Amino acid sequence: MTRKTSAANPVLDRLLFPLAQRFVAGRTIPEAVQAVRRLNQDGIRATLDVLGENVREQRSAVAAVNSYLETLEWIHRSQIESNVSLKLTQMGLDIERQFCYSNVARICHKAAETGNFVRVDMEGSGYTEATLSLFLDLNQSYKNVGIVTQAYLRRSAQDLERINEAKARVRLCKGAYKEREEIAFQRMPEIRESFKRLVEQLFSHGTYPAIATHDDQLIRWTQECIRQNRIGKDQFEFQMLYGVRPETQRALAREGFRVRVYVPYGTHWLPYFSRRLRERKENIYFVLRHLFKR
Protein backbone atom coordinates (compact mmCIF):
# COMPACT_ATOMS: atom_id res chain seq x y z
CA MET A 1 0.00 0.00 0.00
CA THR A 2 1.37 3.42 -0.91
CA ARG A 3 1.96 6.00 1.78
CA LYS A 4 -0.57 8.83 1.32
CA THR A 5 -1.19 11.92 3.41
CA SER A 6 -4.34 12.19 5.52
CA ALA A 7 -7.64 12.46 3.72
CA ALA A 8 -8.24 15.53 5.90
CA ASN A 9 -5.43 17.87 4.91
CA PRO A 10 -1.63 17.86 4.95
CA VAL A 11 -1.30 20.47 7.72
CA LEU A 12 -3.60 18.56 10.07
CA ASP A 13 -1.76 15.40 9.14
CA ARG A 14 1.62 16.84 10.08
CA LEU A 15 0.36 18.43 13.31
CA LEU A 16 -1.93 15.72 14.62
CA PHE A 17 -0.85 12.37 13.23
CA PRO A 18 1.98 12.01 15.77
CA LEU A 19 -0.71 12.29 18.49
CA ALA A 20 -3.21 10.10 16.67
CA GLN A 21 -0.60 7.35 16.70
CA ARG A 22 -1.53 6.58 20.28
CA PHE A 23 -4.79 5.15 18.88
CA VAL A 24 -3.85 4.38 15.26
CA ALA A 25 -1.30 1.67 14.48
CA GLY A 26 0.13 3.41 11.42
CA ARG A 27 -0.70 4.40 7.87
CA THR A 28 0.28 1.15 6.15
CA ILE A 29 -0.45 -2.57 6.41
CA PRO A 30 3.12 -3.54 7.43
CA GLU A 31 2.92 -1.10 10.36
CA ALA A 32 -0.45 -2.49 11.41
CA VAL A 33 0.77 -6.09 11.11
CA GLN A 34 3.75 -5.19 13.29
CA ALA A 35 1.39 -3.79 15.96
CA VAL A 36 -0.69 -6.97 15.84
CA ARG A 37 2.41 -9.12 16.22
CA ARG A 38 3.31 -7.24 19.40
CA LEU A 39 -0.21 -7.83 20.78
CA ASN A 40 -0.11 -11.50 19.78
CA GLN A 41 3.17 -11.90 21.68
CA ASP A 42 1.24 -10.91 24.82
CA GLY A 43 -1.48 -13.47 24.08
CA ILE A 44 -3.88 -10.84 22.70
CA ARG A 45 -5.81 -11.24 19.45
CA ALA A 46 -6.65 -8.38 17.13
CA THR A 47 -9.23 -7.07 14.74
CA LEU A 48 -7.76 -4.89 11.99
CA ASP A 49 -9.74 -1.89 10.82
CA VAL A 50 -8.84 -0.03 7.62
CA LEU A 51 -9.87 3.49 8.61
CA GLY A 52 -12.56 5.14 6.51
CA GLU A 53 -16.23 6.07 6.63
CA ASN A 54 -18.97 7.98 4.80
CA VAL A 55 -17.53 7.54 1.32
CA ARG A 56 -19.48 9.36 -1.39
CA GLU A 57 -17.84 7.93 -4.50
CA GLN A 58 -17.93 4.37 -5.79
CA ARG A 59 -14.20 4.35 -6.47
CA SER A 60 -13.45 5.17 -2.80
CA ALA A 61 -15.61 2.27 -1.67
CA VAL A 62 -13.92 -0.07 -4.16
CA ALA A 63 -10.51 1.11 -2.94
CA ALA A 64 -11.59 0.30 0.64
CA VAL A 65 -12.73 -3.19 -0.44
CA ASN A 66 -9.33 -3.76 -2.06
CA SER A 67 -7.56 -2.64 1.11
CA TYR A 68 -9.57 -5.18 3.12
CA LEU A 69 -8.83 -7.97 0.62
CA GLU A 70 -5.17 -7.08 0.88
CA THR A 71 -5.38 -6.97 4.69
CA LEU A 72 -6.96 -10.45 4.79
CA GLU A 73 -4.18 -11.73 2.54
CA TRP A 74 -1.56 -10.22 4.86
CA ILE A 75 -3.22 -11.78 7.91
CA HIS A 76 -3.21 -15.15 6.19
CA ARG A 77 0.38 -14.95 4.93
CA SER A 78 1.91 -13.52 8.10
CA GLN A 79 -0.09 -15.91 10.30
CA ILE A 80 -1.03 -13.26 12.80
CA GLU A 81 -4.06 -13.80 15.03
CA SER A 82 -6.48 -11.20 13.69
CA ASN A 83 -9.81 -10.77 11.98
CA VAL A 84 -11.17 -7.54 10.42
CA SER A 85 -13.73 -4.87 11.29
CA LEU A 86 -15.35 -2.53 8.78
CA LYS A 87 -17.99 0.17 8.47
CA LEU A 88 -20.85 -0.02 5.98
CA THR A 89 -20.60 3.68 5.07
CA GLN A 90 -17.02 2.93 4.01
CA MET A 91 -18.42 0.20 1.73
CA GLY A 92 -20.87 2.56 0.01
CA LEU A 93 -24.03 2.43 2.15
CA ASP A 94 -24.69 6.11 1.36
CA ILE A 95 -24.35 5.39 -2.37
CA GLU A 96 -26.55 2.32 -2.89
CA ARG A 97 -27.55 -0.63 -0.71
CA GLN A 98 -26.92 -3.36 -3.30
CA PHE A 99 -23.51 -1.90 -4.17
CA CYS A 100 -22.62 -1.88 -0.47
CA TYR A 101 -23.91 -5.44 0.00
CA SER A 102 -21.80 -6.76 -2.89
CA ASN A 103 -18.72 -5.00 -1.56
CA VAL A 104 -19.04 -6.50 1.92
CA ALA A 105 -19.93 -9.89 0.43
CA ARG A 106 -16.60 -9.88 -1.48
CA ILE A 107 -14.77 -9.32 1.78
CA CYS A 108 -16.76 -12.02 3.62
CA HIS A 109 -16.09 -14.42 0.76
CA LYS A 110 -12.34 -13.79 0.90
CA ALA A 111 -12.38 -14.09 4.72
CA ALA A 112 -14.24 -17.42 4.47
CA GLU A 113 -11.57 -18.77 2.10
CA THR A 114 -8.93 -18.24 4.79
CA GLY A 115 -11.14 -19.24 7.75
CA ASN A 116 -11.41 -15.64 8.92
CA PHE A 117 -14.16 -13.43 10.32
CA VAL A 118 -15.59 -9.99 9.48
CA ARG A 119 -17.16 -7.65 12.05
CA VAL A 120 -19.51 -4.90 10.91
CA ASP A 121 -19.05 -1.87 13.19
CA MET A 122 -22.08 0.18 14.22
CA GLU A 123 -22.14 3.86 13.27
CA GLY A 124 -24.43 6.79 14.20
CA SER A 125 -28.15 6.13 14.75
CA GLY A 126 -29.06 7.34 11.24
CA TYR A 127 -27.49 4.06 10.04
CA THR A 128 -28.63 1.61 12.73
CA GLU A 129 -31.59 0.05 10.91
CA ALA A 130 -29.87 0.03 7.50
CA THR A 131 -26.77 -1.60 9.03
CA LEU A 132 -28.74 -4.22 10.92
CA SER A 133 -30.95 -5.11 7.98
CA LEU A 134 -28.03 -5.40 5.52
CA PHE A 135 -26.12 -7.43 8.10
CA LEU A 136 -29.03 -9.87 8.61
CA ASP A 137 -29.26 -10.37 4.83
CA LEU A 138 -25.52 -10.95 4.63
CA ASN A 139 -25.66 -13.39 7.52
CA GLN A 140 -27.98 -15.67 5.53
CA SER A 141 -25.15 -16.36 3.08
CA TYR A 142 -22.09 -15.80 5.28
CA LYS A 143 -21.76 -17.23 8.77
CA ASN A 144 -18.35 -15.64 9.30
CA VAL A 145 -19.79 -12.19 9.89
CA GLY A 146 -20.79 -10.43 13.12
CA ILE A 147 -22.19 -7.08 14.17
CA VAL A 148 -22.02 -4.47 16.93
CA THR A 149 -24.74 -3.34 19.35
CA GLN A 150 -24.57 -0.05 21.28
CA ALA A 151 -25.79 -0.10 24.89
CA TYR A 152 -26.72 3.61 24.86
CA LEU A 153 -29.46 3.04 22.26
CA ARG A 154 -32.90 2.38 23.76
CA ARG A 155 -33.74 0.02 20.87
CA SER A 156 -30.80 -2.35 21.46
CA ALA A 157 -32.62 -5.09 23.43
CA GLN A 158 -35.01 -5.57 20.49
CA ASP A 159 -32.14 -5.50 18.01
CA LEU A 160 -30.38 -8.21 20.02
CA GLU A 161 -33.46 -10.43 19.79
CA ARG A 162 -33.27 -10.22 15.98
CA ILE A 163 -29.53 -10.89 15.97
CA ASN A 164 -29.69 -13.72 18.49
CA GLU A 165 -32.44 -15.38 16.48
CA ALA A 166 -30.04 -15.41 13.51
CA LYS A 167 -27.40 -16.93 15.86
CA ALA A 168 -24.98 -14.20 14.84
CA ARG A 169 -22.07 -12.92 16.88
CA VAL A 170 -22.33 -9.55 18.62
CA ARG A 171 -19.78 -7.08 19.95
CA LEU A 172 -21.43 -5.04 22.69
CA CYS A 173 -20.09 -1.53 23.34
CA LYS A 174 -21.48 1.63 24.98
CA GLY A 175 -21.65 3.66 21.73
CA ALA A 176 -19.39 6.46 20.52
CA TYR A 177 -21.65 8.92 18.67
CA LYS A 178 -23.62 11.91 19.93
CA GLU A 179 -27.26 10.80 20.05
CA ARG A 180 -30.56 12.43 21.05
CA GLU A 181 -32.17 11.79 24.42
CA GLU A 182 -35.35 10.32 22.78
CA ILE A 183 -33.38 7.44 21.32
CA ALA A 184 -30.34 7.09 23.58
CA PHE A 185 -29.51 7.00 27.28
CA GLN A 186 -27.34 9.99 28.15
CA ARG A 187 -26.17 9.39 31.71
CA MET A 188 -23.39 6.90 32.50
CA PRO A 189 -25.34 4.97 35.21
CA GLU A 190 -28.19 4.36 32.73
CA ILE A 191 -25.78 3.32 29.99
CA ARG A 192 -24.05 0.92 32.37
CA GLU A 193 -27.39 -0.61 33.46
CA SER A 194 -28.38 -1.08 29.83
CA PHE A 195 -24.96 -2.62 29.10
CA LYS A 196 -25.44 -5.14 31.94
CA ARG A 197 -28.94 -6.12 30.76
CA LEU A 198 -27.59 -6.66 27.24
CA VAL A 199 -24.64 -8.74 28.53
CA GLU A 200 -27.18 -10.99 30.31
CA GLN A 201 -29.25 -11.23 27.13
CA LEU A 202 -26.12 -12.16 25.17
CA PHE A 203 -24.95 -14.76 27.68
CA SER A 204 -28.37 -16.41 27.82
CA HIS A 205 -29.33 -16.28 24.10
CA GLY A 206 -26.32 -15.04 22.12
CA THR A 207 -23.43 -16.64 20.26
CA TYR A 208 -19.84 -16.08 21.45
CA PRO A 209 -20.35 -12.44 22.52
CA ALA A 210 -17.63 -9.80 22.65
CA ILE A 211 -17.77 -7.48 25.65
CA ALA A 212 -16.10 -4.30 24.39
CA THR A 213 -15.31 -1.90 27.21
CA HIS A 214 -12.43 -0.45 29.23
CA ASP A 215 -14.77 0.31 32.12
CA ASP A 216 -13.52 -1.46 35.29
CA GLN A 217 -17.02 -1.59 36.78
CA LEU A 218 -18.37 -3.44 33.73
CA ILE A 219 -15.34 -5.70 33.43
CA ARG A 220 -15.65 -6.77 37.08
CA TRP A 221 -19.42 -7.17 36.74
CA THR A 222 -18.96 -9.39 33.66
CA GLN A 223 -16.38 -11.52 35.49
CA GLU A 224 -18.83 -11.98 38.38
CA CYS A 225 -21.66 -12.76 35.95
CA ILE A 226 -19.72 -15.57 34.25
CA ARG A 227 -18.61 -16.95 37.62
CA GLN A 228 -22.18 -17.11 38.93
CA ASN A 229 -23.55 -18.58 35.71
CA ARG A 230 -20.65 -21.01 35.22
CA ILE A 231 -19.80 -19.58 31.82
CA GLY A 232 -16.31 -20.59 30.62
CA LYS A 233 -13.62 -18.02 29.84
CA ASP A 234 -13.57 -19.45 26.31
CA GLN A 235 -17.25 -18.65 25.75
CA PHE A 236 -16.74 -14.94 25.09
CA GLU A 237 -14.11 -12.25 24.47
CA PHE A 238 -13.23 -8.99 26.11
CA GLN A 239 -12.45 -6.39 23.45
CA MET A 240 -10.60 -3.11 23.80
CA LEU A 241 -9.17 -0.39 21.60
CA TYR A 242 -5.55 -0.06 20.50
CA GLY A 243 -3.79 2.37 22.83
CA VAL A 244 -6.47 2.34 25.56
CA ARG A 245 -5.59 0.68 28.88
CA PRO A 246 -2.91 -1.68 27.49
CA GLU A 247 -1.97 -2.88 31.00
CA THR A 248 -5.56 -4.01 31.60
CA GLN A 249 -5.54 -5.78 28.23
CA ARG A 250 -2.40 -7.70 29.20
CA ALA A 251 -3.61 -8.40 32.75
CA LEU A 252 -6.87 -9.92 31.49
CA ALA A 253 -4.98 -12.06 28.98
CA ARG A 254 -2.66 -13.27 31.75
CA GLU A 255 -5.72 -14.22 33.83
CA GLY A 256 -6.79 -16.50 31.01
CA PHE A 257 -9.51 -14.33 29.45
CA ARG A 258 -9.72 -14.04 25.69
CA VAL A 259 -8.82 -10.48 24.76
CA ARG A 260 -9.07 -8.92 21.31
CA VAL A 261 -7.83 -5.44 20.48
CA TYR A 262 -9.29 -3.26 17.74
CA VAL A 263 -6.32 -2.05 15.66
CA PRO A 264 -7.16 0.74 13.21
CA TYR A 265 -4.75 1.82 10.52
CA GLY A 266 -4.69 3.89 7.35
CA THR A 267 -4.75 7.44 6.16
CA HIS A 268 -8.37 8.35 6.99
CA TRP A 269 -7.70 8.57 10.70
CA LEU A 270 -9.26 11.91 11.63
CA PRO A 271 -12.91 10.96 12.40
CA TYR A 272 -11.76 7.95 14.45
CA PHE A 273 -9.20 10.07 16.34
CA SER A 274 -11.86 12.74 17.02
CA ARG A 275 -14.17 10.13 18.58
CA ARG A 276 -11.34 8.93 20.85
CA LEU A 277 -10.63 12.54 21.88
CA ARG A 278 -14.30 13.24 22.66
CA GLU A 279 -14.45 10.24 24.99
CA ARG A 280 -12.07 11.87 27.49
CA LYS A 281 -11.47 15.52 28.14
CA GLU A 282 -7.89 14.76 29.28
CA ASN A 283 -7.21 13.70 25.66
CA ILE A 284 -8.40 17.07 24.37
CA TYR A 285 -6.19 18.97 26.87
CA PHE A 286 -3.27 16.79 25.78
CA VAL A 287 -3.77 17.76 22.13
CA LEU A 288 -4.19 21.46 22.97
CA ARG A 289 -1.02 21.44 25.11
CA HIS A 290 0.90 19.83 22.25
CA LEU A 291 -0.36 22.38 19.71
CA PHE A 292 0.44 25.40 21.92
CA LYS A 293 3.92 24.09 22.73
CA ARG A 294 4.85 24.23 19.03
Span interacting with ligand FDA, options 11-19, 69-77, 91-99, 279-287, rule CB under 6 A: 279-287
Phi first, then psi: what are they for 38, rounded to 5°?
Answer: -65, -40
Minimum Å gap between C-beta 173 and ligand FDA is 4
Residue 195 in 3-state DSSP?
Answer: helix
- Kind of pairing, strands 169-173 and 145-150? parallel
Q: Which residues within the stretch 239-278 sit at the binding site for ligand FDA (CB under 6 A)? A: 239-241, 244-245, 262, 276
Q: For residue 231, what are the CA distances in angstroms to 196, 208, 217?
A: 15, 11, 19
Distance, CA of 22 to CA of 6 (rounded, Å): 16
Minimum Å gap between C-beta 96 and ligand FDA is 22
Residue closer to ligand FDA (CB basis): 85 or 103: 85
Minimum Å gap between C-beta 213 and ligand FDA is 3
**Any idea what the Cα angle at residue 66 is, between residues 40 and 19, rounded to 5°?**
55
The neighbouring-strand residues paired with 48 are 84, 263
Of the residues 45, 119, 171, 260, which is catalytic?
A: 171
In the annotation, is 171 catalytic? yes
Q: Which residues within the stretch 120-149 sit at the binding site for ligand FDA (CB under 6 A)? A: 121-122, 148
Q: Which of 95, 68, 60, 66 is nearest to 84 (CA)?
A: 68
Residue 196, interface with ligand FDA (CB under 6 A)? no
Residue closer to ligand FDA (CB basis): 110 or 119: 119
Q: What's CA 168's distance to the chain center, in Å?
A: 16
Residue 177, interface with ligand FDA (CB under 6 A)? yes
| Residues near ligand FDA (CB under 6 A) | 121-122, 148, 150, 171, 173-177, 212-215, 239-241, 244-245, 262, 276, 279-280, 283
